[in-house]
Amino acid sequence: MKSLFLFIPMCIVFGFLNEWGKLNVNFYLRITAEDHWNDYSLDQKKLIVSEEMAKLKTAYYFQLVEKESFISMTRSDWMYWKWIVPITGTIIFFILEWFFLPLIFSGNGISRVYIIYYYSFVFFLVGMMFMLFKVTDHHSCLTLARRIWLILQSPSLFVLLWCYQLIKRNE
C-alpha cells in the first residue's frame, strides 16, 4: 500500500511536468514559425514572446517559460525538443511502472515481463501507424500514431490493471 501512495503522486507530478514541457515546446514552435524569426534581434524576439504570452490565459497550465535561452533557440532546436519531451515522459512512466506495478499488484502475478509486452505492443502500433503515414502520406495516420503514443506518457498500464482488478472483485 505504501508503494501506491508513492506511485500516484509521482505520476501526477511527472504527468504535469510532461504536459508543461509539451506546452512550452508547442508555444515556441508556433512563435519560431514566424517569417524571419532568425533575423530578429534578441530584444525583438523577447518583445514578440512577451506579447504572445500576454494573449494567453493566466493559469497553471499556461505557465510558459520566458528565458533568454529559450527565446534564442531556432525552430529546428524546438523540433528536436518536440521529440525529446515525449520520449523522456515515456521513459519516466516506463521506469515508474517497472518499479511500482509488481509491488502494487503483487497478489495478481504481475511481473515485469508484462510491462515489456505492453510497451512493446503500443510501440508496435505507433510504428505501424507511422509506417502507414510514410507510405500513404495521410497526416491522419501520423496524428493517430502520436495519440497512441500518448498512452505511454501516463500510468496507463496501472489504470488498466486497476480497472481489471475492480472488475474481478465484482464478479
pLDDT of residue 124: 95
Q: Enumerate the domain spans of the chain.
A: 2-170
pLDDT of residue 93: 94
pLDDT of residue 66: 83
Say whether 137 sits in a helix, a strand or coil: coil
pLDDT of residue 85: 93
pLDDT of residue 110: 77
CB environment 108-136: b (16+ within 10 A), e (fewer):
eebeeebbeebbeebeeebeebbebbeee
pTM of the model: 0.84
| Nearest partner of 26 among 46, 56, 5, 1, judged by Cα | 56
Q: How far apart are CA 128 and CA 120, in angstroms?
A: 12
pLDDT of residue 79: 92
Q: Walk along the chain (171 residues) and give the pLDDT tens digit of each residue.
A: 688 889 999 999 999 999 989 989 999 999 999 888 889 999 999 998 888 888 876 655 567 888 888 888 888 999 999 989 999 999 999 999 999 988 888 877 778 888 999 999 999 999 999 999 999 998 999 899 989 988 889 888 888 888 887 787 787
- The whole-angstrom distance between residue 54's C-alpha and the CA centroid of its chain comes to 25
Q: How far apart are CA 70 and CA 147, in angstroms?
A: 26
Cα angle at 118 between 122 and 102, to 5 degrees?
150
